Every structure is written in C-alpha cells, then in structure tokens.
Amino acid sequence: MKLLSWNVRGMGGVAKRREVSQLVREKNPLILRLQETKLSMLDAFVCNSIWGMSMSIFRIARRRGLPEV
Amino acid sequence: MSVSLDHVLAVAGRFLHSGEPFVVFNVYAPCEAPRQQVLWNVLSARLAALTDQIVCVCGDFNAIRCAEERRSVSTAHYRAGVDGFNSFIDSNLLVDLPLRGRTFTWFRGDGRTMSHIDRFLLSEKWCLTWPTCFQLALSRGLSDHCPLLLAMDDQNWGPKPVRMLKCWRTFLGLILLCAILGVLFR
C-alpha cells in the first residue's frame, strides 16, 4: 500500500498532467495528495485523466485559487 | 468524509481490508512563520481529538526542523519557523521518519537553494500498524518539489543473501560458473 504527496506547482499544462498520471500509473498509490495544482476547475473528468481509470473519490480544497486534491 | 480548513484538506476513511478508520491531512502551509503558527494551532486542535488513531499529516509544510534541512546562499530568517514547527510535531507526538532517496525535497532554479519542506508526519498508531513503512523522495520532474512516497507493507528487504552449501565445492563446474558470473555481473 502506498501514499503519494506532491506539490506539483501548477497542473494546467499537458506535460505536467502527463507527468502526474505517469507517476500514478508507475506507483499505483492508494491515495494521491496534490498541493498547488493552480487549477480553477477540477472535476471528475480531470481527475480521471490523471488517475487513468475511474477514480473512486476526490476532494478539493480551494484557497485563493490554489486547490489541493 | 472530508473537511476543508485554511491550508488543510482533511479526509477520513476506513480501510476496506481491516475496517480500521484513518484520517489523512493534506497540508499546504503558508510561507510566513506567524501564519504557520496559526495553522499548527488549528491542526493541533484537530489532532487532539484523534489520539490513538491512524493519522497521517503530509504535504508541503514550508518549514524545516533544523539548519541541516536547508541549503542556501544566505542564512537569513531560516530559524523563524523552526521552533514552532518542532514543537507542533513533538506536542502532537507525530513521527517524522527519515527521508530516503534524497536529502532535500524542494529546489530553487539557481541550483544553490534547496530545503526539506515536504514530509509525511505519522501518528504512533500509524507506525504501529505499519512498522516497516518508510518515506521516499522521488525524482522532481517538472515541479520544483519532489513527489513523496509513503510505502507500507513493504516486503522488499533488499538484495537476497547468497547461500551456498559446502558440498557444492565438490562440483567441478562450480569454480568455472562462479568465474563466469563474476565476469558477467562485475
């Protein structure tokens, strides 16, 4: 069982998003925790694109436009 | 169930295999020491209600525990938040496991400034549930922070020890085989 935590410093770009999803595929964590995604909108579609397949649960905290997953 | 506080996202759940409840706090701390202290106080109040539970507080704390956790051209104001952060960890009986993989988790573009500000802090119950768990810093990629991995139930005890039976010496081919393997895996 693994947990991942990463301050990604912005996840709007395709390259960064690909990097996160690659890390998830590689490590297969039970829980992924991101800081500073800087995404104004984070929905099931974005989360699924990161997680690969359908993500079971996602939670977002928004602080001055800096959401965390 | 999840609770969103200033700079913290707390998620409570239950492990499917054991049915045990757990709480994870995802922290993205502010940079200034006074605002950090407010956050530590808020977190401490929450943690006080979770004694003897499986709790993990992790993320970007923007704080270090000692001078060795930071390398910089200037030595100014690094001490500002050190005592507050240490006393937050100690008073809540959180366990800060040694970081494997690399010494620092954040790097500035100048290549001379780096610090260990990302970490997993675990409750005693967490450590007792997974006594072999460890935290590992992975390669940084496009971010200026390294991803941190907390691995539990790890069955990897390192390279397997070599075992040899004394009677193997009587096989003539053994010396030759050892020589070949020695060359191959040198």
In-domain check, residue B152: yes
CATH classification of the domain holding B87: 3.60.10.10
Token couple for B58: 């992790």
pTM of the model: 0.79
Integer angstrom CA distances of residue B178 from B127, B142, B162, B163, B164: 42, 44, 12, 13, 12
pLDDT bin (cut points 50, 70, 90) of residue A68 is: very low
In-domain check, residue B80: yes
Cα dihedral across residues A64, A69, B5, B7: positive or negative: negative
Three-class DSSP category at B116: coil
| Residues B138-184: tens digit of each pLDDT | 998 889 999 999 998 756 666 778 888 888 888 878 888 888 888 88
- Residue A54's pLDDT is 59
In-domain check, residue B176: no
In a mutational test of the A interface, the residue from B9, B15, B62, B97 whose CB has the highest number of chain A CBs within 10 Å is: B9
| Residues A5-64: tens digit of each pLDDT | 999 988 888 888 889 988 988 888 888 888 888 877 777 777 777 777 656 677 777 654
Q: Determine the distance from the C-alpha atom of residue A32 to the mean position of all C-alpha atoms in its chain, rounded to a whole number.
A: 7
Integer angstrom CA distances of residue A30 from A4, A24, B13, B48: 8, 10, 12, 26
Across the interface, do A36 and B2 touch by the CB < 8 Å criterion?
Answer: no
Token couple for B41: 């106080």
Is residue A65's pLDDT more than 50? no
Cβ-based contacts of A9 with chain B (< 8 Å): 143-145
Distance, in angstroms, between A22 CA and closest chain B CA? 11
H or E, element range at B27 = strand B21-28
In-domain check, residue B147: yes
Structural domains of chain B, count: 1
pLDDT bin (cut points 50, 70, 90) of residue A66 is: very low
Task: Map tokens 């770009």 to a residue.
Answer: A13
**Where in the sequence is the domain holding B78, given as residue range(s)?**
2-159
In-domain check, residue B184: no
- For the beta carbon of residue B143, count every other beta carbon within 10 angstroms: 21
User: What is the Cα–Cα distance from B86 to A19, expressed in whole angstroms?
Assistant: 33
In-domain check, residue B182: no
- Residue A53's pLDDT is 64
- Residue A56's pLDDT is 67
* Exposed / middle / buried, residue B74 (Cβ in 10 Å: 0-12, 13-18, 19+): exposed
Of A15, A35, A59, the CB nearest to B28: A35
- Residue B161's pLDDT is 82
Of B4, B138, B142, the CB nearest to A15: B142
- Residue B110's pLDDT is 84
User: What is the Cα–Cα distance from B33 to B84, expressed in whole angstroms?
Assistant: 8
- Residue B38's pLDDT is 94
Cβ-based contacts of A36 with chain B (< 8 Å): 28, 60
- Residue B75's pLDDT is 63
User: Does B7 contact chain A (CB < 8 Å)?
Assistant: yes
Q: What own/partner pairs with CB < 8 Å and gap ≥ 24 does B41-48 have?
A: B42/B5, B42/B6, B42/B8, B43/B8, B43/B88, B43/B92, B44/B88, B44/B91, B44/B92, B46/B5, B46/B10, B47/B92, B47/B94, B47/B123, B48/B92
- Residue B126's pLDDT is 93
Distance, in angstroms, between B133 CA and closest chain A CA? 9
In-domain check, residue B168: no
Residues paired with B99 in a beta bridge: B135
User: Does B152 contact chain A (CB < 8 Å)?
Assistant: yes
- Residue B104's pLDDT is 93
List, for chain B, all residue ranges whose pLDDT scores fall below the cut of 50.
none
